[in-house]
Amino acid sequence: MLVQQIVNGFTIGSVYALVAIGFTMVFGVLELTNFSNSSLYMFGAYITFLFYTATGIHFFLAFGISIVLTGLLGYGIDRFALRQLRKKKAPKLSGLITTLGMSMVVDNAIMVFFGTDSKSFENFLDFGKIYIGSAVVTWTQIIILIAACILMITLSVITYRMKIGKAMGAIAQNQDAAKLMGIDTDKIISLTFIISGFLACIAGTMVAMYYRSIDTAMGSSIGIKIFAAAVLGGVGVLPGAVVGGLVLGIVETIVSAYISTGYRDAISFSILILVLLVMPNGLFGKKAINKV
């Protein structure tokens, strides 16, 4: 049973990791807690669903369109709300509240348009299952884990090795100075939001396939976990988000398997607090975080 539980934990963990990467990336650049990330995640899944069921086009084409559209929505959130705040030199807290508001707008728009009942979603990654001892592992689970790792590596390369990543780092340190050095800060920030939209959509659609259903609460129920995973790994550190997600997933599973399902969240969050007491910057965090 332990092997099975670890497999279960890895799957939940990789779901958290997938979404947490986008979240932590925006934080890394803007030091902004982006609450609308989990709404983008739901939005992505619903748009894939819409294009696939309404137009009957090939699933992966629908997936592609949805990725683009979710990226555009991410861009929209930055362009029409956050950029205005930056222009006016609003405090960071205003940005945080704005993302919360944006998240509500997106959530409710989806609810009005699609209704609040769960919808069934076809699994296109269903390639059967394999056995490790008596434990069952489905290919969907493996693909989700691999996808999380690939995305983490790609993004790490972009942010830590490429010029654009350097620009992101510069903006994170000091926006005004970055501007003086000739960095088009608005463009780079928009790009960050677009990428986080892409990631949210990929995560949302893959999770929808795994559970074979989508509902309007899928974003809000995962939102707090994403936050916890990112904080655990060290906010702003990409590999940290993945490791944080996996650790959270496994702890959660072990708690609900061996202690109690009802108290799962209470216990796993207590563990999170304990870890943060010992390592205030998270597992991979370096500098102290003094922003919102």
Binder of another protein out of 14, 34, 103, 138 (CB under 8 A): 138
Q: Considering the rule CB under 8 A, would residue 211 count as an interface residue with another protein?
A: yes
Q: Rounded CA gap, 245 and 234, in Å?
A: 11
Q: CA triplet 244, 247, 248: central angle to 5 degrees? A: 85
DSSP conformational letter for 192: H
Q: Rounded CA gap, 209 and 71, in Å?
A: 20
Q: Considering the rule CB under 8 A, would residue 132 count as an interface residue with another protein?
A: no
DSSP conformational letter for 214: E
Nearer to another protein, 167 or 255 (CB): 255
Name the burial class of residue 72, with classes exposed (0-12), middle (13-18) and buried (19+) by CB atoms within 10 angstroms of its CB. Answer: middle
Nearer to another protein, 4 or 94 (CB): 4
Q: Rounded CA gap, 186 and 180, in Å?
A: 13
Nearer to another protein, 195 or 222 (CB): 222
Q: Rounded CA gap, 207 and 124, in Å?
A: 11
Q: Considering the rule CB under 8 A, would residue 260 count as an interface residue with another protein?
A: yes
Q: How far is the CB of 8 from another protein (least distance, A)?
A: 4
Q: Considering the rule CB under 8 A, would residue 236 count as an interface residue with another protein?
A: no
The CA dihedral of 33, 35, 38, 39, to the nearest 10 degrees, is -140
Q: Considering the rule CB under 8 A, would residue 93 count as an interface residue with another protein?
A: no
Q: Considering the rule CB under 8 A, would residue 261 count as an interface residue with another protein?
A: yes
Which spans in the chain are helix H?
2-30, 37-55, 59-77, 83-87, 92-114, 139-161, 163-173, 175-180, 185-211, 218-233, 238-258, 264-278
Q: How far is the CB of 196 from another protein (least distance, A)?
A: 22
Q: Could you tell me which stretch among 38-46, 54-62, 188-196, 213-221 binds another protein (CB under 8 A)? A: 213-221
Binding string, 110-129, against another protein, x = CB under 8 A?
A: ------xxxxx--------x
Count Cβ atoms below 10 Å from residue 14 Cβ, excluding itself.
Answer: 26
Q: Considering the rule CB under 8 A, would residue 270 count as an interface residue with another protein?
A: no
Q: Considering the rule CB under 8 A, would residue 192 count as an interface residue with another protein?
A: no
Binding string, 150-179, against another protein, x = CB under 8 A?
A: ------------------------------
Rounded to the nearest 5°, which phi and psi values hold at 36? -75, -5
Q: Could you tell me which stretch among 53-61, 148-156, 164-172, 257-265 binds another protein (CB under 8 A)? A: 257-265
Residue 3: strand, helix, or coil: helix
Place of tokens 């990631």: 199
Q: Considering the rule CB under 8 A, would residue 136 count as an interface residue with another protein?
A: yes
Q: Total residues contacting another protein (rule CB under 8 A)?
A: 34
Residue by residue, DSSP assigns 106-164 as HHHHHHHHH-SS-EE---TT---EEEETTEEEEHHHHHHHHHHHHHHHHHHHHHHHSHH
Q: How far is the CB of 73 from another protein (least distance, A)?
A: 23
Q: Considering the rule CB under 8 A, would residue 1 count as an interface residue with another protein?
A: yes
Q: Could you tell me which stretch among 26-34, 156-164, 166-174, 211-219 binds another protein (CB under 8 A)? A: 211-219
Point out which residues bind another protein (CB under 8 A). 1, 4-5, 8-9, 11-12, 15, 116-120, 129, 136, 138, 211-213, 215, 217-218, 221-222, 252-254, 256-257, 260-262, 264-265
